[in-house]
Structure 1
Amino acid sequence: MKSCLLFLLVLIGFFGFSQGNNNNDTELYENYREDQFYASVTYNLLNNKPSGISQTGFSSGFHFGFIRDMPINKKRNVAIGLGMGISTNSYNQKNVLIEDIDNSIYFTKIDEGDYNVSKNKFTTYLIEVPLEIRWRTSNASDYNFWRIYTGFKMGYLLYNSSKFRSEVTDVKLSNIDSFNKLQYGLTLSAGYGTWNFHVYYGLNSIFDESVTFEDESIDMKSLKIGLMFYIL
């Protein structure tokens, strides 16, 4: 994780240096772009989950990165954005135990009353590459404007973990091979100024086909809904 953060900071520094300095208002307008850091907080849902699996509590996601803005029209209010970021996501379960049996991952349904569960979640840590089509009502001197950014995000899984804590048993797993290394989906951010609505709709399963629940493969996808903050 430290090496990924270092790489992200170097990338941000390169992008910032490449902008240079503007000598006058004309040059400012001609070189205007919305290069910016972003931070997002999301509520994470499991989409397309089997009927016997339930979520509980607040499953959170935290996302941070930088997007390089590349305007494609004369007014520079339409652009393509390409960036890099990091993301951590937790998913809380209510009635499922994730366990490793003979080097295979299983989702086993449990009776909550028998276990008295105090913690039950899995977590993913990803490095992400967002690609966006960006429209906004901004200009070189207006920092509060309406925006609609839509696109595609590719994530590479760096690390994962699963924690189950109860009065009956404790199970901790990490770097589970049954997670899909590549996770990707569609994104939409829309709003005014710093505060923006954000949604990520996963297109592929969080787990590979080897993960089962009641003898059936699990095809759960991630749905993240929350707020996106554009910092600079």
Structure 2
Amino acid sequence: MRFFLSCLFLGLFFTSAAQEVAKPEVKPVVKIDSLYREDQFYFSITYNMFTDIPDHFKQNKFSLGLSGGFLRDMPINKRRTKAIAAGLGLSYQNYFQNLTISQDPSGVPLYGVNDYGQFVSNRYKQYSVELPIEFRWRNSTYESYKFWRIYTGIKLSYVFSNSSILDDGEKTYRINNNAAINKFQYGPYISAGYNTWNLYVYYGLSPLFKSTETVSGEKLNLKTLNAGLIFYIL
């Protein structure tokens, strides 16, 4: 009787152990979305320059530009390697240069191009709301967020605040929201790179100043050129 109970106990034990070993592992079902979008937050940092400059115009120090916003991706082919994107963002642009803006006694702005020894400091800065619209090519897949890309388009900007600050050593001229600045600015841009890191270049087609402004009898036709890096974050 004792021998019979021992055999029965061992049989039950090994049967239970075998069931535990043979029990299949239950893995969560991962659903792969083949209809993915590359909706992204973007952030750029640039060195700011001017083109179409007047005689003797120069820049000094590091003229910094920062912008950031969100882009909505709209694929236009089955593989989703081509897309149209539109977005909304904010931009800060800062320029150190020798185009000075002072004022006469009545408050009318006076423009000049002066040697750096003739003033202590001079800068111009502006804040804008920007609307980028771009065509996108990338070799992305729904399984990987790391890919090569070339994005190109046009950026529309509205300057909601601007200021120039000139310290000539005797007096500081600060002009806020100069009416001579074009509030609506636009131009093409291109970004290209791999994964998060991408080169970025923007060229302004619209002059910074309205057509009525002159310096030394020459029409002011300054246009902006920004080059640097842009980062895309999902």
Q: Please indicate the TM-score interval, normalised by the length of the shorter structure.
A: 0.7 to 0.9
Verify: 1:86 aligned to 2:86, yes or no: no
Measure how far apart 1:113 and its partner are: 2.6
Residue 206 of structure 1 deviates from its aligned partner by: 0.7
User: For residues 118 and 123 of structure 2, what CA distance do their matches in structure 1 show?
Assistant: 18
Secondary structure of the equivalent of 1:74? Answer: coil
Specify the alignment match of 1:205 in structure 2: 207
Unaligned runs of 5+ in 1: 1-22
Q: What TM-score results when the alignment is normalised by the length of structure 1?
A: 0.84
Indicate the residue corresponding to 1:5 in structure 2: none
Equivalence for 1:121: 123
The reply on whether 1:165 has 2:193 as its aligned counterpart is no
Q: Distance in 2 between matches of 1:229 and 1:172?
A: 34
Q: 1:114 to 1:43 in 2, by over 3 A?
A: closer
Which amino acid in the other structure matches residue 71 of structure 1? P
1:27-176 to structure 2, matched below 5 A, reads 28-30=33-35, 32-93=36-97, 95-101=98-104, 102=106, 104-115=108-119, 117=120, 119-176=121-178
> Which whole-Å CA distance do the structure 1 matches of 2:116 and 2:158 have between them?
33
**Post-superposition offset of 1:109:** 2.7
Q: Percent identity?
A: 44
CA–CA distance in structure 1, aligned partners of residues 207 and 72 of structure 2: 28
Contact 2:42 2:233 (C-alpha < 8 Å) held by counterparts: yes
Asked whether the equivalents of residues 105 and 178 of structure 1 are also in contact (C-alpha less than 8 Å), the reply is no
Kindly indicate whether residue 28 of structure 2 is the aligned counterpart of residue 24 of structure 1: no
The Cα offsets for residues 89-111 of structure 1, whole Å up to 9 and x where unpaired, read as 01111x33212344543321334
Q: Work out the CA distance in 1 between the residues paired with 2:156 and 2:34.
A: 32
1:167, distance to aligned residue in structure 2 (A): 2.0
The one-letter amino acid of 1:69's match is: D
C-alpha RMSD of matched pairs (Å): 1.4
TM-score (norm 2): 0.83
1:219 match: 221
**Are the counterparts in 1 of residues 103 and 173 from structure 2 also a CA contact under 8 Å?**
no
Q: What is the letter of the counterpart of residue 131 of structure 1?
A: I
- From 184, 187, 191, the equivalent of 1:185 is 187
| Alignment CA distance shift 1:50-1:135 (3 Å) | same
Letter paired with 1:75: R
In structure 2, what residue type is equivalent to 1:198? Y
Structure 1 contact 106–211 (Cα < 8 Å) conserved = no
- Aligned residue pairs: how many? 204
Distance 1:175-1:131 versus aligned 2 partners, 3 A rule: same
Question: Shift of the alpha carbon at 1:165?
Answer: 2.0
Distance 2:81 2:177 in 1: 43
For each residue in 1:61-107, what CA deviation from the matched residue of structure 2 results, as whole angstroms up to 9, or x when unmatched? 000000000000000010000000000001111x3321234454332
Match of 1:230 in 2: 232
Give the partner amino acid of 1:140: Y
CA distance 1:104–1:212, change in 2 (3 Å) = farther
Higher deviation after alignment, 50-59 or 121-130:
50-59
Contact 2:199-2:228 at 8 Å conserved across structures: yes
- Structure 2 unaligned segments of length 5 or more: list them: 1-29
Where does residue 17 of structure 2 map in the other structure? none
Distance 1:106 1:46 in 2: 20
Contact 1:43 1:224 in 2 (8 A): yes
Which contiguous aligned blocks of 4+ residues in structure 1 show a shift greater than 4 angstroms?
none
Larger radius of gyration: 2
